[in-house]
Amino acid sequence: MVNEVLRGAMYGAQLTEVDLAARLGVEPKTVRNWLRGQVPHPGRRAALARLLEVDQTVLWPALASPVEHPTELVAVYPRRLSISQAMWRDFFASAESQIGVLAYSALFLAEDVRLIRLLGDKAEQGVRVRIALGDPGGHNVDRRGVEEEIGEAMSLKIRNAITLLEPVLAHDQVELRLHDTVLYNSMYWSDDQLLVNQHALGIPAARSPVYRFRGGDDSEMFQSYATSFERIWSLGRSAAVGAGRM
């Protein structure tokens, strides 16, 4: 089984297999074995975790103390940057009935032309696409800009994202709403899968952890986040195409 968390941590640290091997004094094939699921010996594990700035139990969950593991939690990524754009496209490509995006700007998605095209294709196939972004003039967007020490750039990022989303917003199956809530998490929804990007004071969402959930009959955590998504969606106001230039 491929260790996707390790691969994602390497991507986030901008280290290739060869780079990692050189830093740790091992052969590149050893790093490839780790990526294929082999667990390094304790010394190597500790050095690798320090280099990637990720806890060992995140890279190798089996090392954690025996506790009941929620089966609906299928993956943990140390930071959103660990998830490649190709993985984001695959995530949304799997949707057959609904796609949801809840964030302040989600600019990293809006800037991906291939992803915008994918959302349009999904809408054409009858998939409902809901996008909830922060209200550029809202109090909580201003506050988030202050907390991240980027000021008005937060509002500008949202306006830019809306402009980039305009091609897909023309589809009947796609709706954009603007919210002015304290956003405790960003959420990305594809049918029975949910990516929840944690928010922490003063830390950009791109550098915060992401939990991946898969819904089912007993998916209490999944349903809690889904309920929160629906609550914020109900509080948002509809935004017409062209709102990004308002």
The matching CATH number, chosen from 1.10.260.40, 3.40.50.300, 1.10.600.10, 3.50.50.60, for 4-65 is 1.10.260.40
Look at residue 244 in the predicted model and tell me its pLDDT: 40
Per the model's pLDDT, the better-predicted residue between 49 and 148 turns out to be 49
- Give the angle subtended at the CA of 76 by the CAs of 70 and 79, to the nearest 5°: 155
Select from 3.40.640.10, 3.30.870.10, 3.40.50.740, 3.30.365.10 the CATH code of 80-245: 3.30.870.10
In this structure, what token pair is assigned to residue 194?
């949910």
- Can you say how many angstroms the Cα of residue 106 is from the centroid of all Cα atoms in its chain? 9
Name the segment(s) of the chain with CATH classification 1.10.260.40. Answer: 4-65
Token pair recorded at residue 197: 């990007």
CA distances from 19 to 15, 54, 246 (A): 6, 17, 46
CA gap 28, 134 in Å, rounded: 44
Task: Give the number of other Cβ atoms within 10 Å of residue 87's Cβ.
Answer: 15
Per-residue model confidence (pLDDT) at position 60: 85
pLDDT digits (tens, 9 = 90+) for 157-205: 889 999 999 999 999 999 999 999 888 899 999 999 999 999 888 788 8
Q: Residue 140's pLDDT is what?
A: 76
The three-state secondary structure class of 4 is: helix
- Name all contacts of 134-141 with Cβ < 8 Å and 24+ positions apart: 134/103, 134/104, 134/105, 134/158, 134/178, 134/179, 134/180, 134/183, 135/178, 135/179, 135/180, 135/237, 136/162, 136/178, 138/178, 138/179, 138/180, 139/180, 140/180, 140/181, 140/182, 140/183, 141/104, 141/180
pLDDT attached to residue 193: 95
- Give the CA radius of gyration of the chain: 19
Are the CB atoms for 119 and 130 separated by under 8 Å?
A: no
> Tens digit of pLDDT for each residue in 86-131?
999 999 999 999 999 999 999 999 999 999 999 999 999 999 999 9
pLDDT, one tens digit per residue, over 218-244 is: 788 999 999 999 999 999 998 865 544
CATH code 3.30.870.10 region(s) in the chain: 80-245
Read off the pLDDT of residues 52-81 as tens digits, 9 standing for 90 and up: 988 888 888 877 755 566 788 989 999 999
CA distance 209 to 85: 16
